[in-house]
């Protein structure tokens, strides 16, 4: 009986939490800030969320591309198919690794920062003071951060894939001696704009929505204490990462299973 | 025009199973300094949030300038909040903005004034709190007292009708406390506004308050002028005002008799 009660209570609080998160997202999306006030806020957040994540994305992309080329070459050379290294690397990156690894890195770098920032604004009564100044915190604080995350993550994923392909070229062509012409030409013929690049981009937009939404909600709904903020920040990274991996499987099944 | 800027009428408010207020009523006179006092955890800050419309009472009504706050729509509430402001205990300055930008914030949000005019108004408000020279500092560079004064400048930026102060003297050194006490008094007189101070710093607030409301046991246990309160017959009021450690609010948490508990230890 006790178990059933606990299960019921947990289920209800989970649904209530989803309801509050949806309410927050709709509040942020429907309260569109005007152009004069909203643009500078969005640009600032694009810098904080997007530009500040650039270094970790580029460095990770470079190394992942290099490792991918090294591993791919080792397998392909056994079949005399090392010329296919270009498409192998490009397809892995554009379809999967680009969107997924970028989303995971984004959750760790920008998502946790968003949660901690909003949680701290709540703890220091900055959100309450906005409300008391007749300024909607969803419009002023949440909306620009949401749009900044939604816009910047797909761009970061494209940059990640581009830098990773350069890293793969460095290892595969410049170091291991794969023919440069084959590397690029087979890649060009095998990679489809619609099937690979666009689908990868759609995945990235979905992951951007999920990660940014979770990060903002966890900060907005956290218990305003140091322990509460710490818990919310951890939950942002864990929940975002799991959600990204889960949705990746679903999206891959829908996009590529046929 | 009504004599009261805020009227709290038969308000009942609970958090979960815990009743905070039960049929509580009092009023805040217009143009005066009103102090709400009471022991810690009695729900004084909650009262400010109810007046500001951040919380809704379970029953009863709260009016601000004649309009019912709980009955207001979101847009009406936001319009009403432009005429009231609140000084939070922490100051609640925006940490990513300088002192100048913090004070300019409500003006930029709610008016179409030019930047030149906003600059003039901000400098005047900062001059009133003695921080004109600190306008380019960030909140992290301010002392606790300075942060509260900067927040006060922001609170008066739109010339509100009512300012609510949440524990303005908590954690202040004697100099900062004296400065804040004089500032609240002079701002109230010069700007002709109404002030509502929530505090348990008895000496400081009684020196400037025109009207005192003491809250305990889910309701108002005494209200009137500071002199009337000092002469009040209620032992609870006297215990609170004189800071006595024992009285109607016991020093000891409810426990078994002392001797019995010591002897039960088996010595």
Give the pLDDT band of residue B12 (cuts 50, 70, 90).
very high
pLDDT at A197: 92
- Cβ-Cβ contacts under 8 Å between A and B: the total is 42
Q: What count of other Cβ atoms lies within 10 Å of the Cβ of residue A223? A: 13
Min Cα separation A74/chain B (Å): 51
Flag whether B213 is in a domain: yes
Q: How many residues does chain B have?
A: 267
Q: What is the CATH number of the domain that holds B133?
A: 3.40.50.300
Best mutation target among A31, A37, A119, A132 (most B Cβ atoms within 10 Å) is A132
Q: Which residue of A has its CA nearest to B52?
A: A132
C-alpha gyration radius of chain B: 21
CA distance A235 to B150: 35
Flag whether B169 is in a domain: yes
Name the most confidently modeled range: A72-81, A97-106, B38-47, B215-224: A97-106
Q: Position of tokens 């109607």?
A: B248
B39: three-class secondary structure by DSSP = coil
Best mutation target among B86, B103, B112, B140 (most A Cβ atoms within 10 Å) is B86
pLDDT in tens, B36-61: 988 777 888 889 999 999 999 999 99
What is the crossing angle of helices A112-123 and A226-256, to 10°?
Answer: 150
Give the pLDDT band of residue A74 (cuts 50, 70, 90).
very high
Kindly tell me if the per-residue pLDDT of B253 is higher than 80.
no
pLDDT at B250: 67
Flag whether B264 is in a domain: no
CA distance A133 to B107: 10
pLDDT in tens, A208-256: 999 999 999 999 999 999 999 999 999 999 999 999 999 999 999 998 8
Indicate the average pLDDT of chain B: 86
B12 Cβ under 8 Å from any chain A Cβ: no
A225 Cβ under 8 Å from any chain B Cβ: no
B144 Cβ under 8 Å from any chain A Cβ: no
Q: Position of tokens 């909306």?
A: A143
Question: How many domains does chain B fold into?
Answer: 1
Candidates A60, A101, A70, A69; CA nearest to A88 is A69
Question: In this complex, which of B52, B90, B94 lies closest to A132 when CB atoms are compared?
Answer: B52
Share of residues in chain B with pLDDT > 90 (%):
32
Flag whether B255 is in a domain: no
Domain limits for position B142: 4-233
Do the Cβ atoms of B92 and A128 come within 8 Å? yes
pLDDT at A30: 81
Burial B197-233 (b: 16+ CB within 10 A, else e): bbbbbbebbbebbebbbbbbebebbbbeebeebeebe
Do the Cβ atoms of B81 and A134 come within 8 Å? yes
Q: Where are the domains of chain A?
A: 39-257
Flag whether B167 is in a domain: yes
Cβ contacts of B82 on chain A, cutoff 8 Å = 134
């Amino acid at each position: 009986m006790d178990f059933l009660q606990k299960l019921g209570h947990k289920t209800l609080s989970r649904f209530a939490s989803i309801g509050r998160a949806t309410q927050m997202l709709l509040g942020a999306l429907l309260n569109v800030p005007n152009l004069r006030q909203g643009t500078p806020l969005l640009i600032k957040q694009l810098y904080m969320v997007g530009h500040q994540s650039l270094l970790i994305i580029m460095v990770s992309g470079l190394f992942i591309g290099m490792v991918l080329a090294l591993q791919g070459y080792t397998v392909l050379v056994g079949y005399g198919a090392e010329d296919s290294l270009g498409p192998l690397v490009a397809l892995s990156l554009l379809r999967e690794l680009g969107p997924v690894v970028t989303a995971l890195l984004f959750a760790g770098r920008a998502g946790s920062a968003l949660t901690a920032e909003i949680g701290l604004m709540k703890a220091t009564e900055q959100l309450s003071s906005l409300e008391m100044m007749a300024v909607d915190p969803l419009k002023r604080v949440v909306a620009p951060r949401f749009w900044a995350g939604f816009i910047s993550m797909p761009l970061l994923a494209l940059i990640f894939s581009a830098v990773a392909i350069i890293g793969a070229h460095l290892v595969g062509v410049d170091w291991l001696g794969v023919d440069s012409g084959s590397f690029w030409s087979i890649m060009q013929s095998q990679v489809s704009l619609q099937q690979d690049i666009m689908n990868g981009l759609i995945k990235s937009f979905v992951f951007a929505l999920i990660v940014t939404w979770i990060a903002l909600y966890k900060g907005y709904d956290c218990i305003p204490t140091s322990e509460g903020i710490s818990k919310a920040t951890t939950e942002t990274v864990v929940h975002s990462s799991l959600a990204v991996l889960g949705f990746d499987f679903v999206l891959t099944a829908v996009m590529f299973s046929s | 025009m009504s004599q009261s800027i805020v009227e709290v009428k038969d308000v009942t408010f609970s958090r979960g199973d815990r009743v905070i207020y039960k049929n509580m009523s009092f009023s805040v006179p217009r143009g005066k300094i009103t102090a709400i006092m009471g022991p810690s955890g009695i729900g004084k800050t909650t009262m400010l949030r109810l007046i500001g419309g951040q919380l809704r009472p379970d029953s009863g009504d709260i009016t601000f300038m004649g309009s019912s706050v709980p009955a207001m729509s979101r847009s009406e509430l936001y319009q009403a909040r432009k005429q009231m402001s609140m000084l939070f205990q922490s100051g609640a300055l925006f940490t990513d903005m300088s002192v100048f930008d913090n004070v300019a914030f409500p003006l930029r949000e709610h008016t179409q004034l030019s930047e030149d005019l906003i600059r003039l108004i901000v400098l005047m408000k900062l001059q009133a709190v003695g921080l004109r020279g600190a306008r380019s500092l960030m909140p992290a560079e301010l002392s606790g007292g300075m942060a509260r004064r900067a927040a006060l400048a922001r609170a008066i930026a739109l010339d509100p009708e009512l300012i609510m102060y949440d524990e303005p003297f908590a954690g202040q050194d004697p100099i900062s406390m004296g400065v804040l006490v004089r500032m609240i008094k002079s701002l109230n007189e010069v700007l002709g506004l109404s002030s509502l101070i929530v505090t348990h710093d008895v000496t400081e607030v009684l020196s400037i308050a025109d009207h005192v409301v003491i809250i305990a046991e889910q309701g108002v246990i005494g209200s009137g002028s500071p002199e009337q309160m000092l002469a009040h017959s209620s032992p609870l009021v006297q215990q609170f005002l004189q800071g006595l450690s024992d009285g109607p609010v016991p020093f000891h948490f409810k426990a078994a008799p002392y001797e019995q508990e010591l002897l039960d230890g088996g010595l």
